[in-house]
Every structure is written in structure tokens, then in C-alpha cells.
Structure 1
Amino acid sequence: MTIQKQVGFWIAALVVFALGLWLLRDVLLPFVAGLALAYLLDPLADRLERLGLGRLGATLLILGLFVLGFVLVLFLLAPLVAGQVGSFVANLPAYAARLQRLALDYGQPIVERLGGPQSLRDVEASVGDLVSQGAGWLTAFLRSLWSGGQALVSIVALLVVTPVVAFYLLIDWDHMVEAVDSWLPRPHQATIRELFVEINAAIAGFIRGQTAVCLILGTFYAIGLSVLGLNFGVLIGLSAGLLSFIPYVGSLTGLLLSVGVAIVQFWPDGLMVAATLGVFVFGQFVEGNILSPKLVGASVGLHPVWLMFALLAFGSLFGFVGLLLAVPLAAAAGVLARFALRRYLASSLYSGAPRSIAGHEPALITDVRAAGDA
């Protein structure tokens, strides 16, 4: 088969795969979540197997402990978080109005100096409309998350079907890997295996490491803000930790929310506002200098901009399923792009030199190297 036919075949396969995802996006969530869970827990199952426990026993033990821990966390945190979400939604308009009033009070001399009293009234009206519209939109969005039967059905399916899917996939994981390996085209088997190893290292290094970072940061932010007595501290801290899966987005979102709430709650006590800011500054220092280098590492190859683009693109196309698939597909695309770049840099398209024939270098290159050695 020629190169053109091979490229055409794989492009067609990719198009069919993407089309299937798009058509089945409404029912794929528990299956993709189960696949992700099995992938995350497979190294632990392999380790238990090496200790003498059978694959079935290791799978039952791991998933049992995982489900038990998830249920305990859900029962402990769900009432607290749900209460804070309701209170936050109810108080959001008042908090926004208070921030608007403080901003206009302290910015009044500057606005009047630049445009006069009429400019101040125009700015106040514009900011008021913007804040009210934004608060209304956010309130409606948060309430819509829990309204409608489809959302409830999706949550139930996620909680019930996902562990079952993960159980069967985790039992047969090694057999599935062997089966996929047996399907690889023989002439390119070594190259494809090398690419799969690199893709697996990128995905595992980011997902497992970044998940640990998110859990640690979320716990730290929630405890730190709660100790300061900040309203909705647990909600803001956990949200900031979970959103830290997207580099810089979680910390920036949590910083803006917490400082805004702190200004409304504590002002004019600037020390408490500074302490709230200090929690996120310290968290960012620990993440950048300790957690990320140790848990994620520098060899993952997922640039923050590329990751944010992948999350937004796949999320808009496939919803929550797209968010689950964004990181693996972005990591795979990055590995393939680097492989293609290495091949390009090693080819005559880049160097402009004629390719070697039968293992012999062109005479021009040999003469130049000989002259350089002389």
C-alpha cells in the first residue's frame, strides 16, 4: 500500500471516529468516565498482582475502596457544598452591588477628573447594568445545572454505570492492550509502539499528577479560607482546586472570587483581605515550586495554551464527554506533532540535501565533512 493510501485510510478512520463521538455524545459519558477510571487505576491493579493478588481480587478491592471513599466524601461534603452554593447564589446580587458601590466610591475622584460628574453617572449606570446582567446570568446558570430530568438521569447513569464499566475494563485491561498490539501493522509496529509509550507517559504524567495537585490545592484553599472565616470558603476553595486542572484558570478564578467576597465581608479591614490574597499566593508558590515539578514533571509536553484550547474546543463539540477526552487527545496530538517534526527535521525537505542511497552518504556531504575534519 502506498503512502497516499495509508494516509487516506487513517484520515478516514479519524473522521469516522470523530463522527461517532459526535453522534453518540449524549450516551457516552458513563462509558468514557469508566474508561478513564480504569486507566487511572490500572497501575495499582498491576502492583497488587505483582504482590500475589489475582486480577479479579485486585479489581474488586480497588474499586470497592474507591467507591467507598467517593460515597463517604460525597455524604460529608455534599450537604456543606450544596448549602454554600444555595447561599452564594442567593447573595450574589447583593455582593455584586456592594463591590460596585465600593469601586465607584473609591474611583469617583479619578472619574470626575477625567470626564466630570456626567461621566461618573454614565459609568455607574453602565457598571450597574453589567453587574446585574452578569449576576443574573450566573444565577440562572447555576440553578439550571440542577433543573431538568436529563441532568438527573445523566448523574444517576454516571454514578451507577461508571463503576460497572470500570470493573470490566480493569479486569480485561491487559488483554485489551495485547489485542490492540496484535492489530498494529507489522512494518511499523516498533514505531507505533514507541509512539504509544510516549503518549501513555504524557497522559499518565499529566492526569495522575495534575489530579493529585488539584486535590491537594482544593483541600488547602478550602481549609485556609475557612480558617480566615471567609464566607463560602469551602465552596471557593474546592472550586479553585478542581479548576486547577486547567493551568492558571483555577487559581485565578478562586483568587478573584475570594478577594471579591473578602472585600465585601471584611472591608475596611485590609489585613483580612491581604490574608485572603496570601492564601492563593502561597498556594501558587507551593504548586509552581513543589507540587507540579514533583507530581506532574516537565516532560509531559502539554503547553497550557494548547491544553486550554483543547478543553474549550472538545467541550463545545462534545460537552462533558469532550472535557474527559480533551487531555488524552491533546497529549496524543502533541506526541504525533513532535514525531512529525522530528521526521521533517531529519528529511531532505528540511536540509535540502539529497537522500542517501543504499546507506551511502552523498559525495558532497562526505567531502564537506572531510574538509571540516581537516
Structure 2
Amino acid sequence: MQFTSTQRRTLAWFSIAVVAVLALWLLGPVLTPFAVAAVLAYALTPVVDRLDRMCRGKVPRVLAVAVVELVFIIVLLAIALLIVPIIFKEAPLMRQQVPLLLDGLANWLQPLLAQLGLKVSLDVVSIKAFAFKYLNANVEDALAQLVSSVKLGGSLALAVLGNAVLIPVALFYLLMDWDRFVAHLVALVPTRLRAGFDSFVDEADGVLGQYLRGQLLVMLILAVFYAVSLSLFGLDLALPIGIFTGLAIFVPYLGFGLGLVLATLAGLLQFASIKALVMVAVVFGVGQFIESLFLTPRLVGERIGLHPLAVIFALLAFGQVFGFVGVLIALPASAVLLVGIRRVRTSYLASPLYQG
């Protein structure tokens, strides 16, 4: 069977795509830190370039890279440490309030079940004893369990530690030589495809830039909104929970869900009344409404145009291949893929194959 030159070219590109996808699937755990570092380098390179231009060459680029990466790491650690005061504040409150909450739940639930004709006996004493067993555990027991879990999951702990070291190192070298790496990749593109490739890269760069800038604004606005709104309800931990929830929105669904759980727990432990549920329903309901209908469409923009089902599929697919970090890069990577899909669709609709 004879193939035309166009068919051979198409077959070759299809084979390359299959091999690339297979390599990504097999080497997913190995490529994960480099993929994360590449995404971070793409986002931070403009900052390094601007700092380099501000210094007008008087400061070595390595110093600009070190400053930008150090500030970025400090910001990440600060966000992670927002959870520390929540833990230290809630631990003693849980010992005091959980028994009272259990009594209140039993007093409310048993009459309700009786009205519904359900005869259910709640053993509140046993539930309290079970809760006290774990809430009163001392620090030594907690540390012993932690050490035991680390021993059982040693490979996982080593993988996390390895990524924590490898990602900053890879990010440093990528920031140092980003332009040179990009130039080498562009040089591999055949000359006849260079115009289309440059057009695709420019469009993808515009989509990613819009996504990153818009997402940053959404995070900052929501962090202020949640912190102020929870403070108006009198929540003691309004500031750390509000800021953490707003910034964690960068991880779709997971960030909002974690903030919701933390606010609910903190509200129940502090107020021990229906006020906590009202607070969470009002603040997080309004916050989700504002984000979905106003902030994300206007600030992130409709150019990305990912359907909610596509967002869920992207999160699951990237999470399956790259783990938790895959969830972080799912949406920007999907935005780039969407640019390619749009171009393929446009070419197909203009081709004789579609027009008959």
C-alpha cells in the first residue's frame, strides 16, 4: 500500500504524539518536579527579567534569580504556615467543646427521630469516651504515630522530600537559562512550520498570561472578602482562615472545600450554636456566587472557555498522571491544549474532508 507524502507526514506526527503520550504516562513521577519547575519558571521569568532590567546589568542575573526564587519560597511557606495557628487554636477548643456539641446533637436528633417514627438509641457516653480517647492523646503519642506512618510510607516520604529539593533546584536553572532553553526548542521546529508554531505560541502565551494574572487578582480579592466577612461574624480565626481560603482557591474545588471545612469547624467550636452554620452558609455561599458569576468570568476571562465538565476531567486526568501537583497545573495546561484543539477544529472545518 502506497502512502502519499501528506499521509506519511501525518502518520509520522501521529507516531510521535503516541510515543510522547506513552513516555509522559510511564515517566509521570519522574517528570513531575521538572513539569512543576517549568510552569513556575514560565510564571516567574518575567519578574526576573524586569528585576534584571531595573538593575541595568549592574547586578548578575544569578542574584536576581536567587532573590525572586527566595521571595517565592517565603510566600509559599507563609501560606502554609497560616494553618498552624488554626491547629493550635482549635486543639484545646476541641477538648472543651466536642462533648458539649455531642450533647447538643443528641438532644436535637433524638426528638427529631422520634417524630419520624424511628427508634434509634444514641449511646452518647460511648461516643464521648471515643472522642476523649483521641482528643486527650498527648504529644508523644502523636509523634509516635507520625514516626510510624513515616516508616510505613518511607518511599512516599522520600518522594515528597526529593521533590521539595529537586523543584527549587530545577527552577533555579530554568530561570537562569529560560530564554536559551526556549530558543533551543524553537530551533527544532521545521522552517515551514515556524509561522504556525509562532502563532500558536503567541496565542497560548496570551491565554496563560490572562489566566495567571486574572487568577492572582481573584485570589487576592477572595482572601480579603473571606477574612473581612468572617470577622464581621466575630470568628476569632477569621484572618488566617480567610486568607488561606482565598489563596487556596488556586487549587480548584479543593481550596474552597478545605476553607469551608476549616471555617465550619472553627465556628462550631467557638460558637457551639446554629450561628456557625449560618456564618458558613452566608459567607461561603456569597463568596462562591461572586467568584463564579463575576470574578472568574471578568478577571480570568472567557478566552480560556473551559466547560465545568472539562475542568473536572482535567483535574482528574492530571491528578492521575502527576499526582497532587498535577491538580495545580491542570487548568493552565488545559488552557494551552484548548488553543491547540481550537486550531485543529478550525483546520478540520476548512478541510476538504469536512466540506466533502
Scaled by the length of structure 1, the TM-score of the pair is 0.69
- Give the Cα–Cα distance (whole angstroms) in 1 for the partners of residues 93 and 56 of structure 2: 53
Instruction: Report the CA distance between 1:67 and its aligned residue.
Output: 0.9
Matched, 1:204 2:209: yes
- Give the Cα–Cα distance (whole angstroms) in 2 for the partners of residues 10 and 89 of structure 1: 58
Q: 1:50 to 1:87 in 2, by over 3 A?
A: closer
- Give the Cα–Cα distance (whole angstroms) in 2 for the partners of residues 29 and 335 of structure 1: 23
- Give the Cα–Cα distance (whole angstroms) in 2 for the partners of residues 71 and 211 of structure 1: 17
Instruction: Report the CA distance between 1:341 and its aligned residue.
Output: 2.0
Aligned counterpart, 1:343: 347
Instruction: Report the CA distance between 1:20 and its aligned residue.
Output: 3.1
Give the aligned residue type for 1:24.
Answer: L
Secondary structure of 1:30's aligned partner:
helix
How many residues are treated as equivalent by the alignment? 337
Give the aligned CA root-mean-square deviation in angstroms. Answer: 4.4
Aligned counterpart, 2:86: 84
Which of 255, 265, 282 pairs up with 2:260? 255
Instruction: Report the CA distance between 1:18 and its aligned residue.
Output: 3.2
- Give the Cα–Cα distance (whole angstroms) in 1 for the partners of residues 28 and 21 of structure 2: 10
- Give the Cα–Cα distance (whole angstroms) in 1 for the partners of residues 240 and 347 of structure 2: 48
Matched, 1:117 2:118: yes
Scaled by the length of structure 2, the TM-score of the pair is 0.72
Deviation readout 1:124-179 (Å, 9 max, x if unpaired): 99xx9xxx9xx9xxx9xx96998354455445444443333223222322222222
Which of 60, 64, 69 pairs up with 1:61? 64
Alignment of 1:187-266 (within 5 A): 187-218=192-223, 220-222=225-227, 224-225=229-230, 228=233, 230=235, 233=238, 236-247=241-252, 250-255=255-260, 257-259=262-264, 261-263=266-268, 265-266=270-271
Instruction: Report the CA distance between 1:39 and its aligned residue.
Output: 0.4
- Give the Cα–Cα distance (whole angstroms) in 1 for the partners of residues 58 and 45 of structure 2: 10
- The answer to whether the 8 A contact 2:94-2:269 is kept is no
- Bigger Cα displacement from structure 2, 295-304 vs 84-93: 84-93
Deviation readout 1:312-331 (Å, 9 max, x if unpaired): 12212331343344234322
Deviation readout 1:204-250 (Å, 9 max, x if unpaired): 32234324433543465356546755476566445533442244553
- Give the Cα–Cα distance (whole angstroms) in 2 for the partners of residues 8 and 44 of structure 1: 41
Q: 1:330 to 1:56 in 2, by over 3 A?
A: farther
Between 1 and 2, higher relative CO (CA 8 Å, sep ≥ 6) is seen in 2
Give the aligned residue type for 1:344.
Answer: Y
Aligned counterpart, 2:178: 173
Which of 160, 167, 182 pairs up with 2:187? 182
- Give the Cα–Cα distance (whole angstroms) in 2 for the partners of residues 311 and 338 of structure 1: 20
Q: 1:286 to 1:143 in 2, by over 3 A?
A: farther
Matched, 1:16 2:48: no
Q: 1:268 to 1:349 in 2, by over 3 A?
A: same
Q: 1:85 to 1:113 in 2, by over 3 A?
A: same
Between the aligned residues of both structures, percent identity stands at: 34
Matched, 1:316 2:320: yes
- The answer to whether the 8 A contact 1:315-1:321 is kept is yes
- Give the Cα–Cα distance (whole angstroms) in 2 for the partners of residues 56 and 152 of structure 1: 38
Instruction: Report the CA distance between 1:343 and its aligned residue.
Output: 2.2
- The answer to whether the 8 A contact 1:56-1:171 is kept is no
Unaligned stretches of 5+ in structure 2?
A: 135-141
- The answer to whether the 8 A contact 1:199-1:331 is kept is yes
- The answer to whether the 8 A contact 1:22-1:317 is kept is yes
Aligned counterpart, 2:138: none
Alignment of 1:27-42 (within 5 A): 27-42=30-45
